[in-house]
Amino acid sequence: MTIIYVDNNATTAIAREVRQAMEPFFTEHYFNPSSMYEPAKRTARAVAAARETIARFLGAAPQEVLFTACATESNNAAIFGATRANPSRRHILTTAVEHPAVLEVCKELARSGYEVTFLSVDRAGNLDLGEFVRALRPDTLLVSIMHANNETGVVFPIERLSRIVKETDPSILFHTDATQTAGKIPIRLDRELIHVDMLSFSGHKLHAPKGIGALYVRRGTAWRPWMIGGHQEGGRRAGTENVPYIVGMAKAVELAAEHAAEEETRIRRLRDRLEEGILERVPWVEINGRGAPRLPNTLNVACHFIEGEGILYQLNEHGICASSGSACTSGSLEPSHVLRAMQVPFTAVQGSVRFSLSRYNTEEEIDRILEVFPRVVASLRRISPYWDSQTNAPRPEAEQMLVSAAPQPA
């Protein structure tokens, strides 16, 4: 059976060019870049060149880019590193819809005595700017807000939020988790994101392998290293450099930069076709995040009256790989914390499916999903207790429950 992979917010296929760029560093160029002999200097030069490529891609200086093992490590390092450098400030501002790699770090800090504000979002997934401004305090140490949400693709206005923070108090640090935006939409730390102090991302979301990430720390930021040991990365992240993966991530970034505009347009067109096709063919669905700015590749469909797990199971039978939320929450029956924060009605919060595309998806694959998905939804509804198969519509009491669960006008 041919596989249709539309779970690219979970991870991506490694690009052939990336694999080829990495290959020599597994074989003949295996040396430790810190060693003094000539063959090792070549690996050190490869790491330096990769750092320059990534810095250029971000609009940063090479010495502001640190290599890590993943975005989870980058987020931990950004947040814990900020607390270590600023012990007198005790308030952190974040959102309720962050990836666990930020959310759990903030909860851990809350358990150890920090005050953490978790901002919520509206039905479309947008933050309330007024609430954001009111949440800033004289003792705020750090604001950590994701660039785009991994489940819905909703993009937060980081340019505006970081400007507000610096206009309020330049000593408050601003971190953004850009794991879902790197390679999908532009990131310019020398222009729009000039007020961002720290930024995290990961190789495996942009066609590099799993196990490599980066943390940007703006020069002059009050931050202390989190991973302590050897002198690598200018003493700011200990551990022998993962040379092949660093080279691979730089190649992936280069490819993303080369084709950025054309890919963004093509992927957005495919996503929009899938979205419109689903809305035309499947009744009682809504698009989570539709009223907000969204990543071009992400589509999160809430299907009322059925379970996302059932949909995924049946899509899988047809070779279609999608997800019911973040990879970490799929597989559990807990509704996603993101969809709960967005107040997705209870009849759909368990029935949400995420399709996330990449440059490798084709029109034919979208057509195939549009053929299979409506049939899958219809077959699951036939066995749903909320659904009346005679009328092929929700039972009146289910529809009534849905109407009464909708947010009431103020």
Q: Which residues bind ligand PLP (CB under 6 A)?
A: 70-72, 99, 101, 146, 150, 177, 179-180, 202, 213, 326
Using alpha carbons, select from 10, 124, 70 the residue that is nearest to residue 356.
Answer: 10
- The distance of closest approach from Cβ of residue 79 to ligand PLP in the complex, given in angstroms and rounded to an integer, is 12
- Of 211 and 374, the one with the shorter C-beta distance to ligand PLP is 211
* Cβ–Cβ < 8 Å for 359, 263: yes
- Of 12 and 347, the one with the shorter C-beta distance to ligand PLP is 12
Place of tokens 């929009």: 272
- The distance of closest approach from Cβ of residue 213 to ligand PLP in the complex, given in angstroms and rounded to an integer, is 5
- Residue type present at position 198: M
Catalytic residue status for 70: no
**Cβ-based burial of 67 (10 A; exposed 0-12, middle 13-18, buried ≥19):** buried
* Cβ–Cβ < 8 Å for 142, 166: no
H helix or E strand, kind and range, residue 352: strand 352-356
Burial 148-159 (b: 16+ CB within 10 A, else e): bbbbbbbbbbbe
- Of 202 and 347, the one with the shorter C-beta distance to ligand PLP is 202
- Of 43 and 180, the one with the shorter C-beta distance to ligand PLP is 180
- Of 95 and 140, the one with the shorter C-beta distance to ligand PLP is 95
- Of 202 and 361, the one with the shorter C-beta distance to ligand PLP is 202
Place of tokens 């052939």: 16
- The distance of closest approach from Cβ of residue 125 to ligand PLP in the complex, given in angstroms and rounded to an integer, is 14
* Cβ–Cβ < 8 Å for 205, 34: no
- The distance of closest approach from Cβ of residue 1 to ligand PLP in the complex, given in angstroms and rounded to an integer, is 26
Using alpha carbons, select from 74, 208, 99, 82 the residue that is nearest to residue 156.
Answer: 99
User: In residues, how long is the chain?
Assistant: 410
List all residues 6 or more positions away from 246 whose beta carbon is below 8 Å from its beta carbon.
Answer: 46, 47, 50, 51, 67, 212
Using alpha carbons, select from 15, 331, 54, 11 the residue that is nearest to residue 180.
Answer: 11
- The distance of closest approach from Cβ of residue 180 to ligand PLP in the complex, given in angstroms and rounded to an integer, is 5
Helices (H), 292-362: 308-317, 337-341, 346-349
Query: Which residue among 106, 303, 321, 328 is the active-site one?
Result: 328
- Of 70 and 377, the one with the shorter C-beta distance to ligand PLP is 70
Place of tokens 């096709």: 277
- The distance of closest approach from Cβ of residue 385 to ligand PLP in the complex, given in angstroms and rounded to an integer, is 33
- The distance of closest approach from Cβ of residue 214 to ligand PLP in the complex, given in angstroms and rounded to an integer, is 10
* Cβ–Cβ < 8 Å for 394, 402: yes
- Of 180 and 347, the one with the shorter C-beta distance to ligand PLP is 180
Structural tokens at position 394:
């929700």
Place of tokens 């009146």: 396
Using alpha carbons, select from 299, 258, 265, 309 the residue that is nearest to residue 8.
Answer: 299
Strand duo 393-394 + 387-388: pairing:
antiparallel
- The distance of closest approach from Cβ of residue 185 to ligand PLP in the complex, given in angstroms and rounded to an integer, is 14
- Which positions are catalytic? 328
